[in-house]
Amino acid sequence: MDKIIFRKYNKEKDKNAVHRIWKEVGWLEKGKEKVMDLMLKPANVLVAEINREIEVLAKTVPGTIKYLDEELKFSGVTAVTTSRIARKKGLASKLTARVIAESAEKGALVSGLGIFEQGFYDKLGYGSGCYEHIIYFDPADLKANSDFRIPKRLTKKDWKVIYKSRISRKRFHGAINFGKPETTHAEMIWDDKNFGLGYFDGKNGELTHHIWFYVKDVEQGPYWINWMCYQNSAQFLELLALIRSLGDQVRLVSFIEPPNIQMQDFRKQPFRFRQLTEKSKFENKMKATAFWQMRICSLEKCL
């Protein structure tokens, strides 16, 4: 009979095994092992052993979620992965339930995660979030009336100031801040083709608004905006004008539509471009999908 044990992750003992799991599921490329280690550093990580071999991993990262005008303690389940030999045994569900329970014991009032498919996490009490709008557009079609100043280049070495800018951004209902700067650092170094542009307008020279891009094709795009942070409407408009300036060369930019913004209002001819680019590499379009779920860990304290 197989011997199954759930326990805490031990970096020195387990890192090669968890690297193997992520490689088996296609999450980890050769040479990126240290990046994965950095991702695990700020997290609470549990693993499942089968016959003394690590086959399942689940991790959470603490943070806060904005609920109306309040800040609630939040726990993000940022990875649940199962090796090739441990599928359909219920181990991922059991391990996820354990990391959720540990987060609740440490004070988390809300738990959230990204889903790979509808239904799996429903049995653990999660419910689907709102539809996120993902817009794909030619930056030259932006109707940004604001001028923009020459921005500063941002690189992976700037992860600390970028993290501070992210947690200082304008936030709306449902916005999440992770409490560990290493989460931003790991996101930034996970991909090779990325860069940032931003403005240091704070009273003490802080980074106030910026964009972090992932680039599929440097010359023409598509460019994906991993995140765009700003503190007020004027800064948002300046960033839009900055994106528009890329339109001389870049043919497609995409990102998740910001809260309380309808990007169609900032397009000159959205329907024309959609028709002209249909089924092309640079297709202009809008998608809607609910790819995250949440659950309450303590109803009494959330009221």
CB-CB contact of 86 with 102 (8 Å): no
Cβ 64 vs Cβ 71: under 8 Å: yes
Answer yes or no: do 58 and 191 share one domain: no
35: domain CATH number is: 3.40.630.30
Look up the pTM and report it. Answer: 0.92
3-state secondary structure 34-96: HHHHHHHCCCEEEEEEECCEEEEEEEEEEEEEEECCEEEEEEEEEEEEECCCCCCCCHHHHHH
Task: With H, G, I as helix, E, B as strand and everything else as coil, classify residue 153.
Answer: strand
What CA–CA distances, in Å, run from 262 to 135, 221, 224, 236, 258?
Answer: 10, 23, 18, 13, 8
Provide the domain limits for residue 274: 132-289
Residue 80 clears pLDDT 80, i.e. is over it: yes
64: pLDDT strictly greater than 80: yes
* Residues 121 and 146 both lie in one domain: no
Tell whether 273 and 172 lie within a shared domain.
yes
Rounded Cα distance, 90 and 271, in Å: 47
Residues 280 and 139 in one domain: yes
Which of 237, 157, 148, 232 is closest to 196 using CA atoms?
Answer: 157
Domain boundary among 128, 151, 175: 128
Structural domain ending residue among the three candidates 128, 162, 187:
128
Over residues 26-58, the pLDDT tens digits come to: 999 999 999 999 999 999 999 999 999 999 999
Task: Examine the domain organization and report whether 116 and 141 are in the same domain.
Answer: no
> For residue 26, how far is the Cα from the chain centroid?
18
257 in a structural domain: yes
Q: Domain for residue 258, yes or no?
A: yes
Is the CB of residue 86 less than 8 Å from the CB of residue 55? Answer: yes
Q: Does residue 229 fall inside a structural domain? A: yes
Q: Are residues 10 and 72 in the same domain?
A: yes
Query: In this structure, are 155 and 206 located in the same domain?
Result: yes
User: 200 with 234, same domain?
Assistant: yes
Q: How many domains is the chain partitioned into structurally? A: 2
Q: pLDDT per residue over 123-165, tens digit each?
A: 999 999 999 999 999 999 999 777 899 999 999 999 999 999 9
pLDDT, mean of residues 223-234: 97
Residue 2's pLDDT band (cuts 50, 70, 90): confident
